[in-house]
Structure 1
Amino acid sequence: MSLFKRIKRSLTGSIQTDDYKSRVISSNNNETSTTFDPQKPPPEISQRDVDILRDCWNIVQQDVAKVGIITFVGLFETHPDVHDAFMSFRAVNTSELEYKAILRAHALRVMGTVDKCIYRLENRDKLQELMTEMGIRHKNYSVKIEFIDLIGHQFISSIKPSLETVWTDEHEKAWDNLFKLMCYHTRKGMCSI
């Protein structure tokens, strides 16, 4: 059994269901643009989207580390080339315990960024500044710009099971809009250097 599957099993009690696989595959079929025009205006998020995001986030935060790890394990399973972009995971002699600790720490940092973005939706300049700086850092880490769009779909697939009793197309759209906005400013930062 692969390291990813062992980590996922230890978190969820199972590997992945066929339902999970179909969500990942369908989310990968969404169009992901690798071209970026920084002159275009940023994507819009409505007040209704903001309300949905905050309500959902209150639920997701209860198990944020698990959601973050599942997001990255799923991302690495579906896009192994993304795994190689992470400097921390390149060590050949990293034990499974060390790997889990590194993965958890990174996942929590990303979840912290999502948290900051949700609460900065009332002050879009602060959100823009945060994500532009994130883009600059990721460019300095030699992250490919096309990797930036992948995390949103994977995150959405990871939170759906926690929210299945309330999840609607409107929820999906709100989260997709948030990640489009985050990615827009991240890409803008990556293109600025």
Structure 2
Amino acid sequence: MGCALSGPGVNHGGRTASEARESGPGAGDATGSWLKSEPLPLSEAQKGLIRESWKILHEDIARVGIIMFIRLFETHPECKDVFFLFREIDHLQELKMSNELKAHGLRVMSFIEKSVARLSQEDKLEQIAFELGRSHCRYSAPPKYYEYVGEQFISAVKPIVKENWTQEVEESWKSLFSYLTAVMKRGYYEEERKDGVNKTSYGTQAPPVRPGATGSVQNDV
């Protein structure tokens, strides 16, 4: 997605992601031990279905990206508040013609492509999703929006995959997005916890911006 995907690996051990969410950000100890990895809930057959359907989608990823975000803003208009470039655009037809929306959609599709390529490398898949969650925290894109993207992706791609879209394919994609969303949320809460520690250390002064950060949700997805 043109995301901030480099950085330290995932912190393992401690409470589950669901327990962390229930307790709220920063509920763990100073080491972040409340974060815990979870296995990728996909069989080899499901991974194969995702790869095969992606081959079809890959030919039209720019259009899928635009459709996905138009659907997102139609069904959840409050999401536009996260994207300052789109916040003042009220007409969906104008959004469809937006180069910024096209570029952002391509970045999201690029992340999905990277995820599909790492289905057999679970540690690397987890790391890129975790780091994406961290970058979303830095640019104030809250976790409550993450699951919406998977829903709209599936709605957008069904007409493109056509007869190759089956219930098994849909369940496979749903499982993948559920996993990515959970890992991103862990990354978000870990970054939020670290930011809380930094604010305590620096007082009201924010810590230095990390190298490579753009300061834009659009550029880091």
What TM-score do you get using the length of structure 1 for normalisation?
Answer: 0.75
CA distance in 1, matches of 2:63, 2:39: 30
2:82 corresponds to = 85
Q: How far apart, CA to CA, are the structure 1 residues paired with 2:95 and 2:137? A: 29
Query: Structure 2: any 5+ residue segments left out of the alignment?
Result: 1-17, 23-34, 192-221
Aligned to 1:178: 176
Q: Which residue of 1 aligns with 2:122?
A: 124
Look up the SS of the partner of 1:65 in the other structure: helix
2:54 counterpart of 1:45: no
Supply the AA of the counterpart residue of 1:104: K
* Alignment correspondent of 2:155: 157
Amino-acid identity (%): 37
Matches within 5 A, 1:1-193: 36=21, 38-39=35-36, 41-90=38-87, 96=94, 100-193=98-191
| 1:190 to 1:97, Cα distance in 2 relative to 1, 3 A | closer
Higher share in helix: 1
| Alignment partners' CA distance in 2, 1:125 and 1:111 | 20
Q: Distance in 2 between matches of 1:42 and 1:51?
A: 17
Inter-partner Cα distance in structure 2 for 1:113 and 1:54: 14
1:75·1:154 contact (CA, 8 Å) conserved in 2?
yes
Structure number with greater Rg is 2
For residues 159 and 122 of structure 1, the distance between their equivalents in structure 2, rounded to whole angstroms, comes to 23
TM-score, structure 2 normalization: 0.66
**CA contact under 8 A between 1:42 and 1:184: conserved in structure 2?**
no
1:41-91 per-position Cα deviation (integer Å, ceiling 9, x unaligned): 345111111100110000001111001100000000000011111133236
Q: Structure 1: which amino acid aligns with 2:47? A: V
- RMSD (Å), alpha carbons: 2.3
Asked if structure 1 preserves the Cα contact closer than 8 Å seen for 2:86 and 2:95, the reply is: no
Residue aligned with 2:164, SS:
coil
